[in-house]
Structure 1
Amino acid sequence: METIHTLTQLLTNSDCQYQIYDLGRKIKKIDAKMFADTEQGQVAYPYPMQRKAHLAIVYWNQDQQPWIWFLKFDLDERGLLKQADVGNFIKYVLEAMGTRLSQEMTEEQQHKLANNPYTFKPAEDKMAVFHSQVRAELNLACSQYYEHAQHYFSGELDWEKWHSVGLQGVTDICARLGQEQNGVNLRKALKHLPNEPLYALLGALEHTELSDKLAQRIAQMAQVEIDSGEPDLFLLSALTRALSGASTSITQSIYCAILASPRLSHQEVLIGIAGRCWHWLRDASTAEQFLLRLAQTGDQALFNQLFADLVMLPELRMVLLPLLHSSPSPELADALIRLQQSAKA
């Protein structure tokens, strides 16, 4: 019998279809070829968070009934998966289930498989978004909350009657923006929503690819806060994160305006950019401005944490590392020196 060394082998040998997602920074699909290369140590894990890979593996058979594993693996200093950890998890799977994954598991098998150090439970809000996306991807039925959420966001109910709208209904709509006028209804609803449903909606949109029209509406709301004499920085942070799935042509003026202003570059806003919108920092001058604003918060621990986290991202590594040896502004230079001192301590 063929020895199984990777999750890709295990899934392929079971005649299952599967999809890999990153669940760390934002819910994002990982291409099967890229994941196979990552498992073999040929490339770094694409979306590390806190030097870990937070994965969701969804696999299904011809019945379209998906099984899901939520897995967390440590990464080495180069951002590579530790193959021994993956191998250990595979041993747990083989002991619990054998080599065929597309079978119903007994309660004993489920307990045996769950009892390993590599599984984790995502936050409730992220779990809701993820389940909605998977069900939309596989053309499975929406949750029981979908229809009521549609009525609410289409304006058929009083805007203040949001208490009965379930989060799963909100995430179901966000996973189906191109269907049944959902995207259009959300765009029209945004200016009417009370804080609670607005923040719930923006939180779900953080993990969603946006149409240009919806992105432009959210960007307009962000611009209102930017132009305000008394901006709501927590709302600006939520709007900024929600734009993570928008085209750069729409978002560039927003993040440039935020980073141009020490006042708008609040910790919450900067954390949101680092966590959800890191691709905005691929431009070296934008990355340097971001780090300067981060240094100006005076929170060296936060600076160290976010820099260490961002520099592990393969697409930002060669943008950020040169800054350690360049001559940036005195404030940024001082923060980078303290960062390096703490790394040696």
Structure 2
Amino acid sequence: MSASTIESISEFLLHAGTNFQVLDLGRGIDELSAQAFLDIENGTVPAPKPRQQHAWFAIVFWNTQAANQHYIWFLKLPLDEQGLLVTASRNHFLEIIVDALGSSLADDSEKAEKLPDNPYSFVPPQSQMAQCNAKIKAMLSLPLSEGAALAREYAMNPSETDWQSIPIQGIADLAFQLTDSELESSLINNFDQFNPAFQDALMQACEAVPVSDRLQGVFFSKLESGEQVNLAALRGVAATEHQPTLARSVSGLLSHHELDIDSLSVIAARHFTQFDAALTKQFFEAVAKVDERESLDGQLFSGLFADLVQIPSLRSQVLLMLRDENRSPQLAAAIGRLFQQTRSS
């Protein structure tokens, strides 16, 4: 097997004797079918949830003859202005791994997990790594971590378990067990008894899973604390589809709070699914105000614009915002600076 005969990452993995599953890590953790991943990596469809002008993937694979051993590649691949993957970069990555690994993947998967130096691998933050591991265990019916049992004990009886002994991975594993009605009820009933650090870790872990209206209601109650927005709760109430209650809540935050850069970043990353034309404009109005308040000279606005305009489901609304004449002086100035930057680049 040589780089000249392999045309895709998918083909390499299949020829190397593995089964594999791909997760999109751009804005959450979403399963991709083999065909969807192939279409994305071939540049025939845009990446559905890009971030920072890249597509972000976790590729979990296992030897077809040793299904109990699983390995993960974390890859970020650049996108062009239309949100299509730059296939030259994909081909460069293929050259690197084929030259280094040849066809040895099936014989020595552990070696293959330790990729040679390349510009496309990345190490996820601890919380995302834990969520990804938990998702893979749930997806492939793998055993849970030892920490999951500790997390469950604390959820059921917070007064009898030391929360400090619970690892982040255990909390992430717990979030992926919320289909257990007994566990969910315990979390709801005992939530106020949990240590605030455990509350935050649980809410953040729940950004990667669907939560019931009841549990989401608990998270909503923690969303605002005085003038501050609880970022963990803001992550925890995220939804992959539009929810009128959530959209109204996001709109309320944008209207009544002087949000900081972190809050705006979480809204862009986790709540873009709530954006209609009005909320898109409201979001960028808030961004423009923070840009002016923090004297960022348009950098925040241009960065978030470039990020959100590449999302296929949001692109038309973001572009429509640029042409809306009913806008604040701050938004008008931010758009003007954006056009100036575009012309000068």
| Residue 34 (structure 1) aligns with | 36
| Residue 80 (structure 1) aligns with | 84
Q: Give the Cα–Cα distance (whole angstroms) in 2 for the partners of residues 133 and 106 of structure 1.
A: 21
Q: Is the 8 A contact 1:5 1:87 kept in 2?
A: yes
| Residue 291 (structure 1) aligns with | 284
| Residue 344 (structure 1) aligns with | 343
Q: Is the 8 A contact 1:202 1:238 kept in 2?
A: yes
- What letter is aligned with 1:91? E
Are 2:249 and 1:254 equivalent residues in the alignment? Answer: yes
| Residue 320 (structure 1) aligns with | 318
Q: Give the Cα–Cα distance (whole angstroms) in 1 for the partners of residues 158 and 322 of structure 2.
A: 55
Instruction: Identify which of 115, 130, 133 aligns with 2:132.
Output: 130
Q: Is the 8 A contact 1:41 1:80 kept in 2?
A: yes
Flag the 1:3–1:246 CA change in 2: closer, same or farther, 3 A. Answer: closer
Q: Give the Cα–Cα distance (whole angstroms) in 2 for the partners of residues 342 and 322 of structure 1.
A: 19
Are 2:265 and 1:271 equivalent residues in the alignment? Answer: yes
Q: Give the Cα–Cα distance (whole angstroms) in 2 for the partners of residues 110 and 16 of structure 1.
A: 12
Q: Is the 8 A contact 2:201 2:232 kept in 1?
A: no
CA displacement at 1:122 relative to structure 2: 1.0
Moved more, 189-198 or 315-324: 189-198
CA displacement at 1:339 relative to structure 2: 1.7
Uncovered stretches (5+) of structure 1, i.e. residues with no partner: none
CA displacement at 1:264 relative to structure 2: 5.2
| Residue 333 (structure 1) aligns with | 332
CA displacement at 1:14 relative to structure 2: 4.3
Normalised by the size of structure 2, how large is the TM-score? 0.88
Q: Is the 8 A contact 2:72 2:113 kept in 1?
A: no
- Write out per-residue CA displacement over residues 54-89 of structure 1, whole angstroms, 9 at most, x where no aligned residue: 211112235242221111211112211111211122
Query: Aligned-residue CA RMSD in angstroms?
Result: 2.4
Normalised by the size of structure 1, how large is the TM-score? 0.88
Q: Is the 8 A contact 1:215 1:246 kept in 2?
A: no
Q: Give the Cα–Cα distance (whole angstroms) in 2 for the partners of residues 249 and 13 of structure 1.
A: 46
Flag the 1:264–1:181 CA change in 2: closer, same or farther, 3 A. Answer: farther
Instruction: Identify which of 86, 104, 108 aligns with 1:104.
Output: 108
Flag the 1:98–1:48 CA change in 2: closer, same or farther, 3 A. Answer: same
- Write out per-residue CA displacement over residues 235-266 of structure 1, whole angstroms, 9 at most, x where no aligned residue: 1x3212211137614413311322232x2544
CA displacement at 1:173 relative to structure 2: 0.3
- What letter is aligned with 2:302? N
Are 2:6 and 1:4 equivalent residues in the alignment? Answer: yes
- What letter is aligned with 2:71? W
Number of residue-to-residue matches in the alignment: 333
- What letter is aligned with 2:300? L
CA displacement at 1:27 relative to structure 2: 2.1
Q: Give the Cα–Cα distance (whole angstroms) in 2 for the partners of residues 110 and 201 of structure 1.
A: 29
